[in-house]
Every structure is written in structure tokens, then in C-alpha cells.
Amino acid sequence: VVLTQSPLSLPVTLGQPASISCRSSQSLVYTDGNTYLNWFQQRPGQSPRRLIYKISNRDSGVPDRFSGSGSGTDFTLKISRVEAEDVGIYYCMQATHWPPITFGQGTRLEIK
């Protein structure tokens, strides 16, 4: 399964919204009905951190300005109002069809 993220670079003004797309080469719906599509944030110099699991479930401690949506093959991560601490690289990942587990190429979010 190939995951294609867009854009790969995302300059955003503080306080403005941001959106990242992740498209899969095949449906990510598993036989149990779940869709194992996660989103991760990697701040500069840090380990990845999961933000969203199974399309739209926000992890504990993740600000509610982050939201995930989508179905089947098209998924989106949205940030309602970008803050300085949101700078980093965002990855989508699928764990529906494995091996292999696959990640998107990453989207670099920067402040304009």
C-alpha cells in the first residue's frame, strides 16, 4: 500500500488553518471494520508522536485544534489554528494491510 501525502511542504501563518492530505493506493478498511490510519507529528529533534488513530480519534493530550477525517482511500489531518509549537513533520501511516506497514512521505509544516 502506497500512501501519498500532499503537500510535502506547508508554510502557514500563525493562527491560520492547515490541511494535509493522505491518499492510499487501496482501501484501508480492514475486515474487522476498522480503518487503521494514524497521523504522527515529529517536532524537530524529537521522536514521532501519535496524534490521531483510526482516522479521527485524537490521542490524550493532543489539542482539539487537531482533527482527522476521511474514509476508504482519502484522509485529511486538519489544524484549525496553527501555533508555533506545531512546526514539524507530519506523517500518515497505515496498519491495515501488512506487511509492510507503510508511512506517507511526510509533510513539513513551517511558519510563514
Partner 1 sequence: EVQLVESGGDLVQPGESLRLSCAASGFTFGLHWMSWVRQAPGKGLEWVANINQDGSETHYVDSVKGRFIISRDNAKNTLYLQMDSLRAEDTAVFYCSRLRSFDFWGRGTKVSVSA
Q: Footprint of partner 1 on residues 60-79 (CB under 8 A)?
A: none
Least distance to partner 1 from the beta carbon of 99, Å?
4
Owner of C-alpha cell 491518499: 23
Among 44, 84, 99, 112, binds partner 1 (CB under 8 A): 99
Q: Exposure string (b/e) for 61-79, b if CB count within 10 Å is 16 or more? A: ebeeebbbebeebebbbeb
Q: Footprint of partner 1 on residues 26-45 (CB under 8 A)?
A: 36, 38, 40
Does 50 help bind partner 1 (rule: CB under 8 A)? yes
